[in-house]
Homo-oligomer: A and B are copies of this chain.
Amino acid sequence: MIVALAGGVGAARFLRGLTRAVPPTQVTVVSNTADDDVFHGLHVSPDVDTVVYTLAGLSDEERGWGLAGETWNVMDALAALGGGTWFRLGDRDLATHLLRSGRLRSGATLSQVTAEIASALGVRVRVLPMSDDPVQTRVELASGEEVSFQDYFVRLAHDVPIRGIRFAGVDAASPAPGVLESIAAADVVVICPSNPIVSIGPILALPGVAAGLSCRRDSVVAVSPIVAGAAVKGPAARMLAELGIEASVSGVAGVYAEVAGTLVVDEADRDLAAEVERTGCRCVVAPSLMSSPAAAERLARVALDAVGGPGG
């Protein structure tokens, strides 16, 4: 069994490769929920949905988020009413949020409704939200203002300097049922190529998760989301630098050194392998750009092989 800690798009693409390398039913995904937010009264779980939609083969590859063939009738009508539409919710995507919000309101847990949605969309990977409790990434801007992650990421287009990150609620939150158990029981844990600070960081900050990984770090492998000093997608490089962490594979290795025994880096970063290893992470070099599902599958096999896992 394989456990994968996952953020959004990068993780979803990696997982699509991973599920070509090993049977989907052998994979448990622990999905970041600290960038969940409420829009117009609806509970939106962007990372969970990105993973589920991608594994279901329903994601929009060109736009990079949301569902393929999406329509926007609700947003158009909301704009006409003068409502806020900076967080775009497509019509089909809204159905997911309606289902989730209704089920949560009627007493279901996020774990339960996530499993229901994944099942309804034919996803055979087990997708666990990291927690059923509310944890919210708060971004402290350089201006001193604190905003939610979606405010920073979408509304402000992550185009403002930051000076801090915190995960509100994380100390009081419990990992969702199955998270610690599956980490303890897994043959291999993969940390997907996601933002180490705001996608993987909240998962690691949950009580028991980092400790559970540390005591088995030899079979934990991370895939760097930073290639040649830049993020493949999103603000990871800028965030790392603004938070005083080197925006490089060795910076990533430093973040993960206590929980992951191995870091997979791109060939472009071959020269930094020694620096990575100085953090205590073994460094594996491989082509890491997931330009196709086949490329993602090759990367997944490299990661599994690096820690002696199945499908490697």
* Structural contact, A74 and B92, CB atoms closer than 8 A: yes
Partner of A84, one of B40, B94, B102, B120: B102
Interface size range on A against B: 20 to 34
> Is A77 interfacial (CB 8 A cutoff)?
yes
Residue A160 at the B interface, CB < 8 A? no
Scan residues 80-128 of chain A and give those whose CB is less than 8 A from a CB of chain B: 80-84, 91-92, 94-96, 98-99, 101-102, 104-105, 116-117, 120-121
- 1/0 per residue, CB under 8 A from B, across A67-80: the answer is 00001011111101
A26 to B219, CA, bound (A): 75
Which residues of the other chain, B, contact A41 by a CB distance below 8 angstroms?
41-43, 98, 101-102, 104-105
Q: Is the CB of A120 within 8 A of B40?
A: no
- Does A38 belong to the interface (CB within 8 Å)? yes
CA distance A163 to B120 in the complex (A): 39
Q: Which 4 A-B pairs have the closest CB atoms?
A: A41-B101, A77-B95, A40-B98, A73-B91
The 7 sampled A-B contact pairs (Cβ below 8 Å) are A40-B42, A42-B98, A76-B95, A77-B95, A78-B98, A83-B102, A91-B91
